């Protein structure tokens, strides 16, 4: 593809003119793929679309590589390489046969191992629509615990491989999330913006399904944004009839034991008449709960088709014998099909469809079986995934800003690709979700660590090029537990602070040190206020013997947009002593923005005030645990597990009514350290320049010697009159309203008063009334709810003793070499108090800071005098409403850029307005020579993206609105809009 890009670049990039997407091979002349390759249907009959498919988890009970090779079959019999071998072989035997494939992570591995003649054969199958890709991302991402930026990245990666390998015929028309456990509105919005014509899934709440079956609303139009103009985020959505399994009695895989079709009347047990009769009964009853004379059946399941002959031989016969009944007056017509061919028939039906504007959380498959535990499961992996995303975006940006030297420079060969693949795999619905076996969770973490090793070389090379200093750079990945060998021992060192946000950032730095006094100066040599505080006992316990610092050096740094600043630190011989600890609870801590009070009797928070807006709320906060059900009770034998949250009482146990406290107050930071029990502690922290209160919690090892599984929450109780309503974000973007014991689309019969009111929180949740809004920004995905008025609870950690019988076959009971008695987890919640109309002006940028946090690198000793101590890649900071979402190298001269409006249309008087950005005046170090706009997943030119249009029942068909930009280089972003560009650039 690279060569072709270069020839086209000159033509295609002159002022953004658009040509067809450059493809690897000239196939489109002969291709009849996609909608043109569908088998004919019969308008006067019930058409049954049989869709042969396999569902291949990118890691679950086995690691992704074990699944690919078919290793460790004693755990689960599954080998993806053999599935693809077998399917291709069987497709060639009958041109009518069809197959769909989904997970590009596996297909890519398989493709690399094929001979060129096999690759040609497969291209032919794709060009004829016999092998069709659906969804097409690197994996089928989880929808509850993923962040939108990582989902966009993994979809872009998978779809790019398909585009470059197969051209237009490799582009999936349909999104396919048959297994994720509940469905997020933001995912539907992203799929719509990626150009998909429709979306199919398998799982939804059992009560929701019952109602939809009765009303024939299992196919609907999902309006997935309240800010983007319809139909920009409208997505036709179909709910599959059997999850993603075949109808009962019709599974012909080697993993199944249904009887084959025995069609020789001379042999024993002839069963054609029985099979046909049973099938017609199933088809006719399925037709009663769908709207058109077309129905779909998923013929396949987990890791099926390893011996595809079994399936296809029986499907060929099924189609033949059922259709033969048409001569006897049967009105049922069977055909090999794909989700897109089925979708095309629904579109041709030209009906109106029920409109949905909320989401599909939480998901329950029975009265006491709410899949809301995985919102928090494996909290350490969830944090590591989020941190890895931050590191990857920094790695991507620096690869662009430093050019080719980043990949091959003074520190060796670096790359971003390893990390991209590791992050893409981590988005899978059994990865970051926390629903995999322990050895698989370890493998996901190992991949991320390996990816970061590759990125570190690239980052070091880039910073060397930008700063002119090739001094070695040290990375300290354990700063959250006060471990960094360099700062602990060095008398003089410098700290480089790289800021991946497109606006300047102020950030607190805490470095483990053994000295008692230090001097810190910024890039201009100006002295920076810094203080030394003692390391807490809790931190000493958590870090075990990984570090030995007695103190922490605390100061605030500022870094320019998309750039770095350098601070130098020197140990002083005879400076003032470290700040001393007070062993009583202070009545209050405050800075110029916030004031927090404590109850002297309990040591707990008692109020929070915003000094700028002159508002105060009562606020108490404590830690509790729900006793996890072990499955032995009157109503149901469902235990709590990796997927399912089922407390055996609605009243949690309080861990301690009082906290032992000590406090330290300095000009840089004030903190109250609270100790609740040997396994729960917290630091309430206020930095001098911060508009947010930090709660740094440390939880674990959860004790289980009483044989009770524990689900630990923190609960904030306030004076806010929230009327049983609270708000959560969807995948880190749009905010949705949640109401206790309520679902917008059906009358809920609530049977789990706690678990049935839990929702995913990806980056923030809030409660509000007319006067006050308390927003909590999280550092990872967590589950939470508002069970009582004025209250918000967030689940932090879980340790369970039983498997919840959903297939993982293992209790969620995490230990490690460092923590053999149970995992200890540490994290941060950031609290802000504002007037509701302006709250988003605080929480939007705050949440982006937590997602894309500055990267600190360290250099020992004095820096060379010619070192460039400050750098920004932007000519000016972007406006507050605009977020730079993606800046990554596409190929030699091309860069992928995504700009995003990060406010909803109703959220802020100030920032919910359109904003215009000039792309030519964006970068200080890159010259933008040309640009062209793409769809969100960067696999189609924006101008060429056309989607099926659908009419909702309630109002008329929305007409696509075209907004015009002010000029060629100026792009206007409207609330919640993401725009994606390929830029042709050269380094200035």
pLDDT for 530 equals 97
Provide the 3-class DSSP secondary structure of residue 675: strand
Cα 453 to chain center, whole Å?
22
3-class secondary structure for 852-900?
A: CCCEEEEEECCCCCCCCCEEECECCCCCCCEEEEEEEECCCCEEEEEEE
pLDDT recorded at residue 262:
97
pLDDT digits (tens, 9 = 90+) for 558-582: 999 999 999 999 999 988 889 999 9
Is residue 179 annotated as part of the catalytic site, yes or no?
A: yes
What are the tokens at 649?
Answer: 């009482």
By residue count, the chain amounts to: 988
**The token pair that represents 988 in the structure block:** 């200035």
Portion of the chain with pLDDT greater than 90, in percent: 94
SS (H, E, C) 371-414: CCCCCCCCHHHHHHHHHHHHHHHHHHHHHHHHHHHHCEECCEEC
pLDDT at 12 over 70: no
Q: Give the helix ranges, DSSP H, for 481-595.
A: 485-489, 537-543
pLDDT tens per residue, range 420-479:
999 999 999 999 999 999 999 999 999 999 999 999 999 999 999 999 999 999 999 999
Q: Shortest CA distance to 518 belongs to which of 485, 548, 551, 541?
A: 551
**DSSP type of residue 403:** G
Distance CA 794, CA 695 (A): 13
DSSP state of 369: -
Instruction: Give me the mean pLDDT over the 772-777 stretch.
Output: 98
SS3 call for 137: coil
Judging by beta carbons within 10 Å of its beta carbon (0-12, 13-18, 19+), is residue 72 exposed, middle or buried? middle
Q: What is the pLDDT of residue 576?
A: 86
Q: How far apart are CA 409 and CA 462, in angstroms?
A: 8
Confidence of residue 741 (pLDDT cuts 50, 70, 90): very high
Q: In what order do the strands lie in the sheet with 926-934?
A: 882-889, 894-901, 978-987, 926-934
* Average pLDDT of span 825-850: 98
3-state SS record for 229-281: CCCCCEEEEEECCCCCCCCCCCCCCCCCCCCCCCCCCCCCCCCHHHHHHHHHH
Q: How many CA atoms lie within 13 A of 868 on its CB side?
A: 12
Residue 673 is predicted with a pLDDT of 98
Tell me which residue of 214, 284, 320 sits closest to 745, measured CA to CA.
214
pLDDT bucket at 4, cuts 50 / 70 / 90: very low
- What are the tens digits of pLDDT across the range 55-102? 999 999 999 999 999 999 999 999 999 999 999 999 999 999 999 999
Which tokens hold the place of 624?
């509790």
Rounded average pLDDT over 180-199: 98
Residue 320, SS3? helix
Q: What is the mean pLDDT of residues 516-522?
A: 97
Instruction: Give yes or no for residue 942 having a pLDDT over 70.
Output: yes
Q: What is the mean pLDDT of residues 100-112?
A: 98
pLDDT-derived band at 954 (thresholds 50, 70, 90) equals confident
Contact 83, 369 (CB under 8 A): no
Secondary structure (DSSP) of 38-63: PPP--TTSEEEEEEEB-B--SSSSS-
Kindly report the pTM of this predicted structure: 0.96
Q: What is the pLDDT of residues 778-828, one digit of tens each?
A: 999 999 999 999 999 999 999 999 999 999 999 999 999 999 999 999 999
The pLDDT of residue 30: 61
pLDDT at 661 over 70: yes
185-193 and 148-166 helices cross at what angle (nearest 10)?
30
| Local structure of 319: helix, strand or coil | helix
What pLDDT is stored for residue 433 in this prediction? 98
pLDDT at residue 829, rounded to an integer: 98
3-state secondary structure of 202: coil
The answer to whether 739 and 725 are in contact (CB under 8 A) is yes
Are the C-beta atoms of residues 356 and 950 closer than 8 Å to each other?
Answer: no
User: CB within 8 A of 284, min separation 6: which ones?
Assistant: 46, 332
Longest Cα–Cα distance in the chain: 102
* Tens-place pLDDT, residues 596-628: 999 999 999 999 999 999 999 999 999 999 999
- Report the pLDDT value the prediction gives residue 958, as an integer from 0 to 100: 81
Q: pLDDT-based confidence at 961, cuts 50/70/90?
A: confident
Q: What is the pLDDT of residue 455?
A: 98
What is the DSSP secondary structure assignment for residue 481, as one 8-state letter? Answer: G
β-sheet bridge partners, residue 78: none
Whole-number Å distance between alpha carbons of 431 and 714: 25
Which whole number is the average pLDDT over 172-193?
98
Tokens of 917: 């950005």
d(CA 387, CA 398): 17
The answer to whether the CB of 373 falls within 8 A of the CB of 645 is: yes
pLDDT band at residue 6 using 50, 70 and 90 as cut-offs? very low
With a pLDDT cut of 70, the percent of the chain lying above it is 97
Q: How many other β-carbons are positioned within 10 Å of the β-carbon of residue 611?
A: 13
Q: Which one is catalytic: 56, 179, 359, 369? A: 179
Distances (CA, A) of 854 to 727, 850, 857, 891: 28, 9, 10, 26
The reported pLDDT for the residue numbered 957 is 80
Radius of gyration of the chain (CA): 29
Give the model's confidence band at 309: pLDDT under 50 very low, under 70 low, under 90 confident, else very high: very high
d(CA 981, CA 983): 6
**pLDDT at 25 > cutoff 90:** no
Q: What is the distance between the alpha carbons of residues 194 and 189, in angstroms, rounded to a whole number?
A: 9
- When pLDDT is cut at 50, 70 and 90, the band that residue 638 belongs to is very high
988 — pLDDT class (breaks 50, 70, 90): confident
**Cα(600)–Cα(619) distance, rounded to whole angstroms?**
14
Mean pLDDT calculated for residue range 477-504: 97
């Amino acid at each position: 593809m690279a060569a072709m890009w270069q020839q086209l670049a000159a033509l295609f990039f002159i002022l953004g003119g658009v040509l067809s997407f450059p493809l690897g091979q000239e196939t489109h002349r002969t291709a009849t793929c996609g909608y043109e390759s569908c088998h004919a249907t019969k308008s006067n009959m019930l058409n049954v679309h049989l869709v042969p498919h396999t569902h291949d988890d990118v890691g679950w009970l086995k690691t992704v590589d074990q699944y690919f090779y078919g290793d460790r079959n004693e755990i689960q019999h599954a080998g993806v390489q053999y599935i693809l071998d077998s399917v291709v072989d069987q497709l060639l035997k009958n041109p009518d046969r069809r197959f769909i494939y989904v997970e590009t992570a596996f297909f890519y591995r398989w493709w690399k191992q094929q001979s060129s003649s096999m690759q040609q054969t497969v291209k032919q199958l794709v060009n004829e629509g016999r092998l069709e890709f659906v969804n097409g991302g690197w994996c089928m991402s989880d929808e509850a615990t993923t962040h939108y930026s990582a989902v966009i990245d993994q979809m872009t990666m998978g779809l790019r491989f398909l585009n470059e390998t197969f051209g237009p015929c490799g582009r999936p028309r349909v999104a396919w999330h048959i297994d994720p456990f509940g469905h997020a509105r933001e995912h539907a919005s992203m799929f719509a913006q990626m150009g998909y014509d429709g979306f199919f899934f398998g799982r939804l709440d059992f009560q929701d399904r019952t109602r939809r079956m009765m009303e024939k609303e299992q196919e609907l139009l999902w309006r997935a944004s309240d800010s983007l103009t319809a139909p920009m985020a409208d997505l036709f959505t179909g709910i599959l009839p059997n999850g993603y399994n075949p109808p009962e009695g019709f599974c012909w895989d080697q993993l199944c034991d249904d009887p084959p079709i025995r069609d020789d009347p001379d042999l024993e047990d002839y069963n054609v008449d029985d099979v046909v009769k049973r099938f017609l009964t199933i088809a006719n009853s399925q037709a009663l709960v769908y709207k058109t004379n077309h129905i779909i059946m998923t013929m396949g399941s987990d890791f099926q088709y390893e011996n595809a002959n079994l399936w296809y031989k029986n499907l060929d016969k099924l189609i033949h014998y059922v259709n033969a009944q048409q001569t006897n007056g049967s009105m049922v017509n069977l055909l090999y099909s794909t989700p897109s061919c089925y979708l095309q028939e629904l579109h041709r039906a030209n009906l109106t469809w029920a409109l949905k504007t909320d989401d599909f959380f939480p998901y329950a498959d029975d009265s006491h079986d709410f899949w809301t535990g995985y919102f928090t499961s494996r909290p350490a992996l969830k944090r590591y995934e989020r941190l890895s995303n931050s590191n990857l975006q920094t790695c991507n940006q620096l690869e662009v800003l430093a050019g080719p030297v980043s990949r091959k420079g003074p520190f060796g060969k670096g790359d971003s690709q390893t990390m991209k693949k590791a992050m893409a795999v981590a988005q899978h619905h059994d990865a970051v979700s926390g629903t995999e076996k322990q050895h698989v969770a370890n493998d996901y973490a190992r991949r991320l660590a390996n990816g970061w090793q590759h990125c570190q070389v690239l980052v070091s090379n880039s910073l060397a090029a930008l700063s002119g200093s090739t001094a070695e750079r040290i990375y300290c990945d354990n700063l959250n537990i006060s471990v960094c060998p360099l700062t602990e021992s060095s008398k003089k060192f410098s700290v480089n602070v790289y800021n991946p946000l497109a606006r300047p950032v102020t950030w607190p730095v805490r470095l483990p040190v053994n000295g008692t006094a230090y001097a810190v100066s910024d890039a201009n040599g100006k002295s920076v206020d810094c203080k030394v505080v003692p390391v807490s006992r809790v931190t000493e316990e958590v870090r075990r013997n990984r570090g030995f610092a007695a103190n922490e050096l605390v100061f605030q740094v500022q870094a320019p947009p998309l750039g770095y600043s350098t601070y130098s630190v020197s140990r002083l011989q005879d400076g003032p002593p470290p700040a001393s600890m007070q062993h009583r609870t202070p009545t209050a801590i405050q800075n110029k923005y916030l004031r927090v009070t404590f109850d002297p009797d309990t040591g707990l928070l008692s109020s929070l005030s915003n000094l700028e807006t002159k508002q105060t709320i009562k606020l108490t906060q404590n830690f509790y645990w729900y006793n996890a059900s072990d499955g032995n009770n009157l109503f149901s034998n469902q235990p709590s597990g990796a997927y399912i949250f089922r407390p055996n009482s609605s009243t949690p146990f309080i861990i301690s009514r009082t906290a032992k406290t000590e406090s330290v107050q300095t000009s840089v930071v004030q903190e109250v350290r609270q100790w609740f029990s040997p396994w729960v502690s917290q630091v309430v922290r206020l930095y001098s320049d911060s508009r947010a209160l930090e709660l740094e919690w440390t939880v674990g090892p959860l004790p289980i010697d009483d044989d009770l599984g524990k689900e630990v929450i923190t609960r904030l109780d306030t004076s806010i009159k929230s009327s049983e309503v609270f708000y959560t974000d969807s995948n880190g973007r749009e905010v949705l309203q949640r109401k206790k014991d309520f679902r917008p689309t059906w009358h809920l019969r609530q049977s789990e008063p706690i678990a049935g009111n839990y929702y995913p929180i990806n980056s923030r949740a809030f409660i509000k009334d007319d006067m006050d809004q308390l927003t909590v920004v999280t550092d990872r995905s967590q589950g939470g709810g508002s069970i009582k008025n004025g209250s918000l609870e967030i689940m932090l950690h879980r340790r369970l003793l039983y498997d919840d019988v959903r297939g993982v076959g293992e209790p969620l009971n995490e230990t490690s070499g460092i923590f053999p008695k149970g995992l200890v987890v540490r994290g941060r919640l950031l609290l802000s108090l504002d007037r509701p109309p302006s709250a988003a002006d605080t929480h939007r940028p705050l949440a982006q800071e937590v997602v894309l946090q500055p990267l600190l690198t360290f250099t020992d000793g004095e820096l060379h005098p010619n070192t460039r101590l400050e750098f920004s890649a932007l000519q000016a900071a972007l406006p507050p409403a605009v977020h730079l979402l993606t800046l990554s190298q596409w190929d030699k001269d091309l860069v992928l850029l995504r700009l995003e409006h990060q406010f909803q249309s109703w959220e802020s008087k100030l920032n919910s307005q359109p904003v215009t950005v000039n792309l030519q005046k964006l970068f200080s170090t890159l010259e933008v020579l040309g640009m062209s706009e793409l769809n969100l997943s960067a696999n189609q030119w924006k101008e060429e993206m056309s989607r099926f249009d659908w009419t909702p029942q309630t109002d008329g068909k929305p007409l696509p609105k075209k907004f015009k930009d002010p000029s060629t280089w100026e792009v206007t972003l409207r609330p919640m809009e993401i725009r994606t560009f390929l830029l042709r650039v050269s380094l200035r």
